[in-house]
Structure 1
Amino acid sequence: MFMGGGYNLSSGDPLARIKKRKPILSQHWLPVAQQSTTWTQEMVWLIENDLDFKAAKKQPIFERFPMLETTSQIPEIAFELIKANFMNLGYFQGLNSAVKVPSWKTIDEAPSPRFIKTHLPLSLLPPSLLSTAKVIYVARDPRDVAVSYYYLHKMVIKTLMRSTFTHFWDAFRRDLLPWTPIIEHTNEAWELRHKKNMHFLFYEDMLKDLPKVIRGVCKFLDREYSDDQVTQLADHLSFKSFKKNKTVNNNTNENGDIEFIRKGEAGGWRTHFDAKMEVQAEEFLSTKLKGLTLKYPSLCNTDGECTYL
């Protein structure tokens, strides 16, 4: 594990190259800390491609919206382990082909507008990013992020994943997992949320009123759609529809006991945390959020009063 800029990363060698990149106006960046990535990717791609649902179904999301650090944060030896333990070799072959070429090369050769996903925090991305490209950041209750992150690990490397959620949560709250610490990651974007080229989203708001969120993203991207078109996109992005969409639901488990698109809900952490873990979560949030203005919707009441602030 490599510590870069205060964050846990798999490798540090390519970071300088990534940070020196020069973003351009035709690029759309989606920085996220392991949360709700695919849902937002599909929404943004369709908004910028005239709601071309047919085109979206012809190409998997990882090709339409490549991840910046794929080839830098998955060391070769780890990638071979993933390959040996992957549960859906058909999907893996497509991912394998994508990884053979450096992700930044794929991005540079992509047609405009370019779409870029990354789990890297803003401090490890090019300094000129917010003045030269559109950035959409997605945040989520850290407790739900921990659950989602756990199942992602189980899905990808099932036979290597021996730990229980209790052990995984312990590593998560102690900032020992890749791309953590999570709240510091999110707070970087939160502090820049008023910048012209930054659009900050909460997963919980997407669940609460997806059409409203879609309209907000459309405005941010200078795109206009009718109410009927917004409804059509919201229906396409519905949890029921999303689970059936093979270009976004990278379900690697042929037995169906672990799913890439899981519940599509907020507060699912409650079914995974025991009493001791709930106390740990309270301490974790209290310590991490102390002195910050970051307001997670799940920690605030209808009057805007937020726990830990």
Structure 2
Amino acid sequence: MAPSKMNEDEFNNNQEEKQLFPYEITRVDPEINAELLKDFTGERSYFVQVGPKNYFFPSNYEREADKFYNFEVRSDDIWIVTFPRSGTTWTQEMVWLIANDLDFETAKAINLNERCPFLEFSTFVHPELKSTFLKENSDCPVRYKIVEEVTRKEWMNLPLRKGRRIIKTHLPFTLLPQNLFKSGCKIIYVVRNPKDVIISFYYLNKLFRTQGYDGDLPTYWNYFKRNLQPWTPYWEHVKEGWDRRFEENFLFLFYEDMNRDSKAAIKKISCFLNKILTEDQVCALNEHLRIDNFKNNPSVNNELLSKLGITKNVENGFIRNGSSGNWKKELSKELNEEIDSWIEENLARTDLRFPNLNE
């Protein structure tokens, strides 16, 4: 399943004439950048903001933006687009199995990151940090090679893949390939209650050394609300998905609805992908995706990244609990009220409404 190798010079030489990236990329104010580098040690250089919406990324994005924008989409692709921590991994596994006729054996044998590549993950691996990962795994040639593989530039490797591709990305639609909606491919966008997103993203930033956050939740929230976290502004991201909800070959889903009735979600996505599942197959997939099974599945829970040292070995790992409303256990009364005001202010600018927002 892994693509053939190609170096970056070969890749660039093989590309047809591409359009220039249309948005301005500016570096974050030096004082704010210094604050960020202190609290998020995965980045070693600087952060950038992109376009009129000021989407936020680490320095690597400046060199890769045009590669994402000019990426060649295939008509049989399936794209899973989300803001981080919106049920993405769960959706990936569901979609891959539906698209591949419930091939549980392959799903168990091959890591989800290989079956459903993360388009821009390389953007978040600073060269200095990658060197650290390689050095830490240098005593084992197998692990060393895997570090090289998991930090590869997917925008360069995906064009070499044979067969139908399922691609994960957190990039907003304005920064994704210009022909995405004209290609005929299938696009699934999942959105989740912002309170659960904030809590889950906070823990992910503490888990991944590529992020390297070691602060508390109130400090993290302060960065998030100022749109100083990767892929923010959150509201601009989800509104881009919401505004396209009537596009052809596009499916907009609320994670809360999927979580409340996962069998209905399986059937809806199966229909969207033009796949017919029997009731027994729906039940089998639903059992496979049940959180206890899902959390303990090494193919999806990023156990491999922990072994490589890319994530920390902590009790609550990549897959936490998958349920809705866990923000209630984490947010103080004062912080909850502040986030409520932030949500109310931003919802006033859109007709997007979350199901059971405060439940």
Correspondence for 1:187: 239
Question: Does residue 326 of structure 2 align to residue 276 of structure 1?
Answer: no
List alignment gaps of at least 5 residues for structure 2. 1-46
Paired with 2:255 and 2:173, the residues of 1 have a C-alpha distance of: 19
Q: Does structure 1 conserve the Cα–Cα contact (< 8 Å) formed by 2:77 and 2:166?
A: yes
Structure 1, 121-130 or 152-161: larger mean CA deviation: 152-161
Matched residue type, 2:298: K
Deviation, 1:286, is 1.5
2:57 counterpart residue number:
9
Trace 1:291-302 onto structure 2 (pairs within 5 A). 291-299=349-357
Structure 2 Cα separation of the partners of residues 277 and 204 of structure 1: 22
Bigger mean CA deviation after superposition, 64-73 or 215-224? 64-73
Residue matched to 1:136:
188
In structure 2, what residue type is equivalent to 1:169? Answer: W
| 1:216-265 superposed Cα distances (whole Å, 9 cap, x missing partner) | 10111111010110111011001011012110011437865232111121
Stretch of structure 1 that moved more, 27-36 or 158-167: 158-167
Q: CA deviation at 1:50?
A: 0.6
1:33 aligns with 2:91: no
Listed as ranges, the matches of 1:87-166 within 5 Å are 96-132=147-183, 133-157=185-209, 160-166=212-218
1:63-102 alignment, distance < 5 Å: 63-80=114-131, 96-102=147-153
Contact 1:85 1:159 in 2 (8 A): no
- Does the C-alpha gap of structure 1 residues 80 and 169 become closer, same or farther in structure 2, counting only changes over 3 Å? farther
**What is the aligned counterpart of 2:251 among 199, 203, 217?**
199
Partners of 1:34 and 1:227 lie apart in 2 by: 31
Aligned length: 299
Pairwise CA distance, 1:162:
2.3
Q: Which of the two has higher C-alpha Rg?
A: 2
Distance 1:105 1:255, change over 3 A: closer
Q: Could you tell me how far apart the structure 2 residues matched to 1:256 and 1:162 are?
A: 13
Partner of 1:307: none
Separation in 1, partners of 2:300, 2:250:
25
Give the percent of matched residue pairs that are identical in Structure 1 and Structure 2. Answer: 33
CA–CA separation in structure 2 for the residues paired with 1:178 and 1:46: 29
SS at match of 1:26: coil
Distance (whole Å) between structure 2 residues aligned to residue 61 and residue 94 of structure 1: 18
CA distance in 1, matches of 2:192, 2:211: 28
Corresponding position of 1:176: 228
Aligned with 1:61 (options 91, 101, 112): 112
Aligned to 1:201, the other structure's residue is in SS state strand
2:349 maps to a residue whose letter is G
Q: Deviations over 1:145-177 (max 9, x none)?
A: 111111112222399432011111111122111
SS at match of 1:31: strand
Q: Which residue of 2 aligns with 1:305?
A: none
Q: Which amino acid aligns with 1:205?
A: D
Amino acid corresponding to residue 342 of structure 2 in structure 1? F
Q: Distance in 2 between matches of 1:287 and 1:91?
A: 51
- Determine which of 264, 281, 286 is the counterpart of 1:234: 286
Structure 1 regions of 5+ residues with no counterpart?
Answer: 302-309
Distance 1:101 1:85, change over 3 A: closer
Sort the Cα spacing of 1:239 and 1:103 in 2 relative to 1 into closer, same or farther, 3 A: same
Distance 2:227 2:141 in 1: 33
* CA spacing shift, 1:272–1:82, aligned 2, 3 Å: farther
CA deviations on 1:17-63 (whole Å, 9 max, x unpaired) are 21112211121111111021110100010001010000111110111
AA of the residue aligned to 2:245: R
Instruction: Report how far residue 4 of structure 1 moved.
Output: 1.4
From 268, 271, 282, the equivalent of 1:219 is: 271
- How far off its partner does 1:300 sit? 8.1
TM normalised by structure 1 equals 0.89
Q: Normalising to structure 2: TM-score of the pair?
A: 0.77
Q: 1:267–1:300: structure 2 CA closer, same or farther, 3 Å change rule?
A: closer
Whichever residue aligns with residue 119 of structure 1, its letter is: H
The secondary structure found in structure 1 opposite 2:49 is strand
SS at match of 1:200: strand
1:214 and 1:91 mapped to 2: Cα distance?
36
Q: Which residue of 1 aligns with 2:302?
A: 250
Tell me if structure 1 keeps the 8 A contact 2:205–2:212: no
Question: Structure 2 vs 1, CA of residues 123 and 255 (structure 1 numbering), >3 Å: closer, same or farther?
Answer: closer
- What is the RMSD computed on CA atoms of the aligned residues? 2.5
CA contact (8 A) 2:83 2:170 kept: yes
